Amino acid sequence: MTLRKRDPQQKQKMKLNDNTRENTNKAPIKLDDTVLVRRDEHVTRIKPPYRLEQYRVTSKKGPMITASKEQFTGFLNSELVERMFC
């Protein structure tokens, strides 16, 4: 195997080992959870990676989440939200 073919496989293997060693896993998002939404634009040191507004999950179907805040309701992919622990 050439180095170019083997490198992505080894990186994936290192990532799996790192995640299992640190016992990391994403918390499941349920109804009525408070979530933060990831920013669309480029994140700098000054801006946090997530928007500061808190949204409440109103419905969930597969990886799609409906989150609302006051009058705003939006459909989001579960990869773009992070559950808040209060």
List domains and CATH numbers for the chain: 26-83 (2.30.30)
Tell me: the pLDDT tens digits for 50-71? Answer: 888 888 999 988 888 888 888 8
Distance, in Å, from the CA atom of 84 to the CA atom of 30, rounded to the nearest integer, reads 11
Cα 12 to the chain's mean position, in Å? 19
Q: Is the pLDDT of residue 22 over 70?
A: no
Q: Any idea which residue has 């990831």 for tokens?
A: 38
Q: Is the pLDDT of residue 19 over 70?
A: no
Tell me: the pLDDT tens digits for 23-57? Answer: 666 678 888 888 888 888 777 888 888 888 888 99
Q: What is the pLDDT of residue 38?
A: 86
Strand ranges in 1-86 using DSSP code E only, listed in sequence order: 34-37, 55-61, 64-69, 72-77, 81-83
For the entire predicted model, the pTM comes to 0.60
